[in-house]
C-alpha cells in the first residue's frame, strides 16, 4: 500500500495550495502547526488565512501566547467563531510552558493531554511538524479513504473510524509522513469533494474502489445529523444618555470568555444582576436575528431601551458589566451572534 501513499505524497508536493502554514519555517514549527489546525476546525481555509497571519504575528511562539491576557487572544479570534478553540489553544500553550519547557511534546499521549487537542490534532502535529507517521482522521480523510477502499460502514461509528485510521497508517510511506498527511487533507479539500468529485485529477483514480465501481456518490456512508436545538431569546440593548451600550461578560457556557448583550428580564432582576435599571416601559423591538451554532439555533428578538435610573448609569454597572462606546464595542471579543444584534439595533436607531 505504500506505493499508493508515495503517489499521494508526490502529488501533494506538486499540486498543493500555497498557504501560510505550509511555508517551510512554519511547517517545521509544532506551535504554528497547532495554531493552524485548531483554526481550521469548523472553518474554511480562505477564512482562516488572515486570522492565522495576524495571530502568529502577535503571538509568534508558545510563551507569548501563554503569557497574553485572555482578552487579547479572544479579540484576535473575533469573527472566527467557536471561541472555545482560542481558549483551549491558550491553555495548551500554558501547559506546554509549565510542563514541557515551552516546547510542544512529540509523544502522542502528551499531545493528547493538552487542552483542545484530540486524536486528529495530535496526529496532524506529529505527522506534519515532527515527521512521525500518525493517523490524523478528519472529515476529509474519512471521505477520501472510505472511497479509496470502498468502505461501507457508517463513518460515525468507532469501528469504521478505527478501520480508516489503520488504513491511513498502512498507506503512509516511510520518511514522507508530513506530505502524506497533508496530501490526504488536500485531496479531500480540492479533488475528492463531497459532491461531484474531480476524479480525473486524482492520483488514486485507478486504485480507488469507489471510482472503479461507480460508487463515489454513495460513499462515505453517514447517518443523518440531528437538527440544531432551537432556542428563543430576547437580547436587550441598553443605551445610556451618552449613547454607550451596556454589555455583559460571560465567564462560562457556550459563549464563555466573550462579551455580549444581556437577556431581557424584569427591571428588578436586571438591576440586581447589572447595577443598571433599564427603562423597559420605553423598550422597542428592533427586529429578530438568527444565528446557528454547531448544534444550536438561536432566534433572538432585539429589544432596545434606555435607562430608567440616570444615577445608576452614571455610577457605573457592577463587575463583569460595562458601558462601552461603539469603538470600544468593536474592540471587544464578541460573538457573531451579538454582532448581528448590534447591527439590528444600529439599523433601528440609526446610530
CA 72, 326, 56 angle in degrees (round to 5)?
Answer: 25
In whole angstroms, what is the distance from residue 193 CA to residue 198 CA? 7
Residue 221 DSSP label: B
Dump the DSSP string for 62-118: HHHHHHS-HHHHHHHHTTT--THHHHHHHHHHHHHHHHHTTS---SHHHHHTSTT--
The residue annotated as part of the active site, out of 37, 182, 186, 248, is 37
Q: Is 198 a residue of the active site?
A: no
Q: How far apart are CA 102 and CA 84, in angstroms?
A: 22
Decide: helix, strand or coil at residue 322.
strand
β-strands 284-292, 296-305 pairing: antiparallel
CB 343 within 8 A of CB 329: no
Q: Which residues carry out catalysis?
A: 37
Amino acid at each position: 500500500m505504500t506505493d499508493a501513499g508515495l503517489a499521494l505524497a508526490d502529488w501533494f508536493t506538486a499540486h498543493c495550495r500555497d498557504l501560510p502554514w505550509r511555508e517551510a519555517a512554519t511547517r517545521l514549527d509544532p506551535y504554528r502547526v497547532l495554531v493552524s489546525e485548531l483554526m481550521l476546525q469548523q472553518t474554511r481555509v480562505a477564512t482562516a488565512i488572515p486570522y492565522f497571519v495576524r495571530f502568529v504575528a502577535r503571538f509568534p511562539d508558545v510563551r507569548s501566547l501563554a503569557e497574553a491576557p485572555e482578552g487579547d487572544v479572544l479579540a484576535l479570534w473575533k469573527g472566527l467563531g467557536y471561541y472555545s478553540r482560542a481558549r483551549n489553544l491558550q491553555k495548551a500553550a500554558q501547559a506546554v510552558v509549565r510542563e514541557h519547557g515551552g516546547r510542544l511534546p512529540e509523544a502522542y499521549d502528551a499531545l493528547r493531554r493538552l487542552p483542545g487537542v484530540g486524536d486528529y490534532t495530535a496526529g496532524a502535529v506529529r505527522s506534519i511538524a515532527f515527521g512521525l507517521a500518525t493517523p490524523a482522521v478528519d472529515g476529509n480523510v474519512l471521505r477520501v479513504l472510505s472511497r479509496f477502499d470502498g468502505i461501507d460502514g457508517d463513518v460515525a461509528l468507532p469501528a469504521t473510524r478505527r478501520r480508516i485510521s489503520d488504513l491511513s497508517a498502512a498507506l503512509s510511506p516511510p520518511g514522507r509522513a508530513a506530505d502524506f498527511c497533508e496530501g490526504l487533507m488536500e485531496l479531500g479539500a480540492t479533488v475528492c469533494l463531497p459532491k461531484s468529485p474531480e476524479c480525473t485529477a486524482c492520483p488514486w483514480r485507478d486504485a480507488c474502489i469507489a471510482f472503479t465501481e461507480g460508487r463515489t456518490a454513495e460513499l462515505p456512508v453517514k447517518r443523518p445529523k440531528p437538527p440544531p436545538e432551537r432556542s428563543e431569546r430576547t437580547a436587550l440593548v441598553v443605551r445610556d444618555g451618552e449613547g454607550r451600550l451596556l454589555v455583559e461578560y460571560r465567564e462560562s457556557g457556550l459563549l464563555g470568555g466573550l462579551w455580549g448583550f444581556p437577556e431581557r428580564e424584569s427591571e428588578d432582576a436586571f438591576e440586581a444582576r447589572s447595577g443598571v435599571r433599564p427603562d423597559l416601559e420605553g423598550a422597542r423591538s428592533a427586529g429578530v436575528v438568527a444565528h446557528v451554532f454547531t448544534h444550536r439555533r438561536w432566534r433572538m428578538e432585539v429589544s432596545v431601551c434606555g435607562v430608567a435610573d440616570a444615577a445608576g448609569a452614571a455610577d457605573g454597572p457592577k463587575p463583569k458589566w460595562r458601558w462601552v462606546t461603539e469603538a470600544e464595542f468593536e474592540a471587544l471579543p464578541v460573538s457573531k451572534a451579538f454582532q448581528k444584534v448590534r447591527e439590528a439595533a444600529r439599523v433601528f436607531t440609526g446610530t
